[in-house]
Amino acid sequence: MEKQKVAISIGDLNGIGIQLALENHKKVSQIAEPIYCIDSIMLEQAAEKLNIPVPNHFRTVEEIAPSFEIKPGKVTKESGAYAYASFLKAVQMAKAKKVDAICTLPIHKKAWELAGVHYKGHTDALRDFFKCDAIMMLGCPKMYVALYTEHIPLKEVAGSIDEEKLTQFLIDFYHTAKPATSVAVLGLNPHAGDDGVLGDEEKMITQAINNANQFLSTQCSALNAPFEGPMVPDVAFTPNTRKYYTHYIAMYHDQGLAPLKALYFDEGINISLNLPILRTSVDHGTAFDIAYKRAKLNHLSYFNAIQYIVGV
């Protein structure tokens, strides 16, 4: 059978992404056909700095963005611009159906900002490119967490809880994540508001859960209310509760990702749902603290991100 073609955006070249790409090429090539969105000049520079030979059949793409000097572990505008251009190239290849999916190596958000990119990350860029309500979901088969709000300041979270939007989010999530068991929807406030004593956003969350369950039951009468909640956030991730759920909906970034990364940082991946293209990513960042230091990296997140594509 023909291997799936995957465009790999190279991420921030001042970080660990390129080391992951070089060290995993042989293994990745056994299950997929990777095309790396980096040009030969930048590839040679990175490989030399890392003292890792460029593997055979490491297929690259020319004319990404102007070459620049790699500064290990530094936040630079040039590296941000290159990372963004590499991501754009991967998206273009997917749009043109030259590849089956894209896998993104980590970018640095400040470097994107310095380069004038107004997106906070890949997900909101993809949302804009495809005019679709992309959903950010991270995790592994033992536990997936989707984020209702993601890269916004914490002070804006409560005001973003909206019955209609959350209802649509839940319906989209159900159709694209296809959870096999009940999904735990978290409350926002401590103790999920404790019946209005500690906040009342849970009223809207309850309504959205009911709306989504009702809508989905009209589509499939055999379906028995897939969404449950609002669950008390500090209890939802206890070992006992996790026996019953693999899929969680968090109201904000760290509510869901702090427990997820505490449990499954090494193996977790990031999947963009509800888009016309398939995009996965590592669940970690640029790791500037260990970039170009011959550090022994964790490869699992990257490999799992490729394996998810191949397995779909």
Ligand X SMILES: NC(=O)c1ccc[n+]([C@@H]2O[C@H](COP(=O)([O-])OP(=O)(O)OC[C@H]3O[C@@H](n4cnc5c(N)ncnc54)[C@H](O)[C@@H]3O)[C@@H](O)[C@H]2O)c1
Ligand Y SMILES: N[C@H](C(=O)O)[C@H](O)COP(=O)(O)O
Binding site for ligand Y (CB under 6 A): 121-123, 136, 138, 257, 270, 281, 283
* Residue 45: φ, ψ to 5°: -60, -45
Instruction: Compute the residue count for the chain.
Output: 312
- Judged by CB under 6 A, the residue of 25, 284, 292, 306 near ligand X is 284
Residue 107 interacts with ligand X (CB under 6 A): yes or no? yes
Nearer to ligand X, 69 or 289 (CB): 289
Residues contacting 226, CB < 8 A, separation 6+ = 174, 179, 182, 183, 212, 213, 216
Give the span between the Cα atoms of 51 and 45, in whole angstroms: 10
Contact 137, 270 (CB under 8 A): yes
Which residues between 108 and 127 bind ligand X (CB under 6 A)?
Answer: 108-109
Give the span between the Cα atoms of 221 and 116, in whole angstroms: 49
**What minimum distance in Å lies between the beta carbon of 283 and ligand Y?**
5
25 among annotated binding-site residues = no
Binding mask 67-106 for ligand X (x = CB under 6 A): -------------------------------------x-x
Binding mask 177-216 for ligand X (x = CB under 6 A): ----------------------------------------
Q: Do you find a cis peptide bond into 230, omega within 30 degrees of 0?
A: yes
122 among annotated binding-site residues = yes
Residue 253 interacts with ligand X (CB under 6 A): yes or no? no
Residue 4: beta bridge partners? 32
Residues contacting 51, CB < 8 A, separation 6+ = 294
Q: Which residues of this chain interact with ligand X, rule CB under 6 A?
A: 16, 104, 106-109, 270, 281-282, 284-287, 289-290, 297-298
Binding residues: 122-123, 151, 191, 253, 261, 270, 279
